[in-house]
Amino acid sequence: MTSVIPQASMVTPDSRDQRTSEHTDGETRLTHQAAAIYIVTKLYDEARKEAAPAKTLDDIADALPDVLARSFREANIAPDVTAAVLPEAAKLLWAYIVVEHGRAESGEDVGFIFDLLADSLKHGTDPQVVKSEVPRVVARLRTESAVAAAEDAITKAVAASLAGLTTHPRDRAEQLHRAIDDVSAEHLARPDVGDMPLKEAQGAEAFSTAIEAMERALSLSDSPARTRRALRNWVDMMAAEAGA
């Protein structure tokens, strides 16, 4: 029977030394990361108390070696560790700076999102991951803000067009629906999205809008059966006019 016990010759002094060295290097890097998290997070928490945290962190970054050395002295950490920890501290500080600039751009009403990103750094998340995520978060928030502003503008425009009327014209509402469908169709027609002729994309968007409208009409109806009959009659009439 073949032995599965490693032979002594397979484990050489050089290989043991290499593993020991790699283990020691790994432990040293973790120690430096922990020191960076402790010091930089303390600086970050202090900066958050200022009127302009992002600017305060920018100023700290400009003088990071001196600030880090002073912070290490206050924390009773050996001075010779400062140079080794500086790269880790710089990466972490820049991630905090990106978070705070993202917060400043997006507004404090969504500050909790940036609190979560900052907390993830405090718990050891790779700073590069957080730096990459912040622009995506800011872009999403910017889009949501634009959509909310557009919704508010549309509401006000329709209300203004109906003010003082005792009738209920649908022309403005239909105009706005078409504008939204046309923009969506142009997006759908792009080669990297739906890659279809514009007219076909416009038809697809109009169909989707019609489906959503029918679903809403049925869900809001006191008599879904009656609404279903009315919708069916309407579709039959439109199909006849289109020669379908």
For 138-161, the DSSP string reads HHHHHHHHHHHHHHHHHHHHHHHH
* 170: its two tokens: 């649908």
For 167-209, the DSSP string reads S---HHHHHHHHHHHHHHHHHHHSTTTT---HHHHHHHHHHHH
Question: What is the average pLDDT value for the chain, to the nearest integer?
Answer: 85
DSSP alpha helix (H) spans, the chain: 13-47, 53-62, 64-74, 82-106, 111-122, 127-162, 171-189, 198-220, 224-242
- Residue corresponding to tokens 């759908």: 188
**Residue 208, φ and ψ in degrees, nearest 5:** -60, -40
Residue 9 has what pLDDT?
Answer: 46
pLDDT at 37 over 80: yes
Lowest mean pLDDT among 12-16, 130-134, 180-184, 202-206: 12-16
Q: State the Cα–Cα distance between residues 168 and 174, nearest whole angstrom.
A: 12
Residues in the chain: 244
Residue 45 amino acid letter: D
Q: What is the pLDDT of residues 48-103, one digit of tens each?
A: 999 999 999 999 999 888 887 787 777 777 777 777 788 888 999 999 999 999 99
Is residue 63 helix, strand or coil?
A: coil
Q: What is the pTM (predicted TM-score) of this model?
A: 0.66
